[in-house]
Amino acid sequence: MRPDDPEVIIDLNAIQMNFAIASSMAGPDVDIGAVVKSDGYGLGLESLIEPLVTVGCRSFFVADLSEAYRVRERAKGETVVILAGMKDDHVEHYRKNRFVPVCNTLAEALTAAEGRCDYALNLETGFSRFGLEPSDVRSFIHRSLPPPVLAMSHLACADEPANSLNELQKNRFISLSELLGPTRRSLAASAGLFLGPAYLFDLVRLGSALYGLNTANLTPNPFRNVLKLRACLVDVRHVHVGGTVGYKSTFRASRPTRLGILSIGYAHGLAWSLSNRMTGEIGSHLAPLVGRVSMEYVAVDLTDVPEQLCQPGQWVELITHDRPVEDMAHAAATVAQEVMLRIGVACRRSYAAIGSGQDA
């Protein structure tokens, strides 16, 4: 990578704090499992495991077998749950490494139980994305096979507390999971934490909230922002009144304009839809993005920024403690999870406390 490539700075202390906040909210009888799928939401799975184990995390949820191995290298005794489903040719991997595949169909459940490996059952309660139907569960329990170590389902509208589907899904989950006998149960993910004790059962799967995302739309957000994004100023030029900027000339200067070029574009995960729609910060000064976001670069209006701050090599912050991921997602007309994944995968990562009012 080039020294002026954009940088995502990830605060591992804040991630630890978010785990502790969720644990306190859930209470002593409910475990918190960390969802680190998709390379830890784009933030680097390997760097997250040890800090989370240190604060008491004993369960990790990953996307697939390769991620499970990456966790196991750093968490020797913790539970590693694989969300992608049970694969016939992976049974020996599950047994040898104590991985727990999530079975999404009756056939997968039979393979896991007959293969004598620990497994979880995903129960369809209203999300309509994978999961055993009630008829599958009834068929399964009549086989006298080893039970699952975890029964789970997923709430479709947990961020809408008044939505009647929440209670409907909870009741379906209770009915189906009780057929399986005494097994641990998990229904709630991040937003489900705020639906009350009846939704928490034995384990909450903490994903978005672990990374500071406000999935429950609460004010203020009870979780800490865990990252900032900054891009380097690589060129400064002046545009006369009426001058245009970028592809399709979508910005036309209405005053003599000092223009900065940042070394970040959609190749680095900065959404093309942010063209002319968000603002960066240099110190306490605002610098609006102007013109279209291109593959490697984007322009900012530096006219109202002191000249001494408008020098090549200066860093411009695009995500900060006070301007979190959700702000960029709103401007891009997408969800914060997508923004985090895009920039986390494409930008240079570093790990440090990001401060600015946090107790990290």
* Amino acid letter, 179: L
- Answer yes or no: are the C-beta atoms of 123 and 131 closer than 8 Å: yes
| Of 37, 41, 119, 266, catalytic | 37
Which of 186, 178, 107 lies closest to 154 in space, CA to CA?
Answer: 186
| Catalytic residue flag (residue 69) | no
What is the per-residue DSSP string for 47-106?
HHHHHHHHTT--EEEESSHHHHHHHHTT-SSSEEEETT---GGGHHHHHHHTEEEEE-SH
| Catalytic residue flag (residue 94) | no
Chain center to CA of 296:
24
Distance CA 298, CA 198 (A): 48
Distance CA 83, CA 100 (A): 9
Which of 88, 180, 188, 174 lies closest to 136 in space, CA to CA?
Answer: 180
3-class secondary structure per residue, 146-201: CCCCEEECCCCCCCCCCCHHHHHHHHHHHHHHHCCCCCEEECCCCHHHHHCHHHCC
- Answer yes or no: are the C-beta atoms of 287 and 302 closer than 8 Å: yes
Q: Which two tokens stand for residue 106?
A: 């009756």
| Of 96, 247, 266, 297, catalytic | 247
Query: What amino acid positions are annotated as catalytic residues?
Result: 37, 247
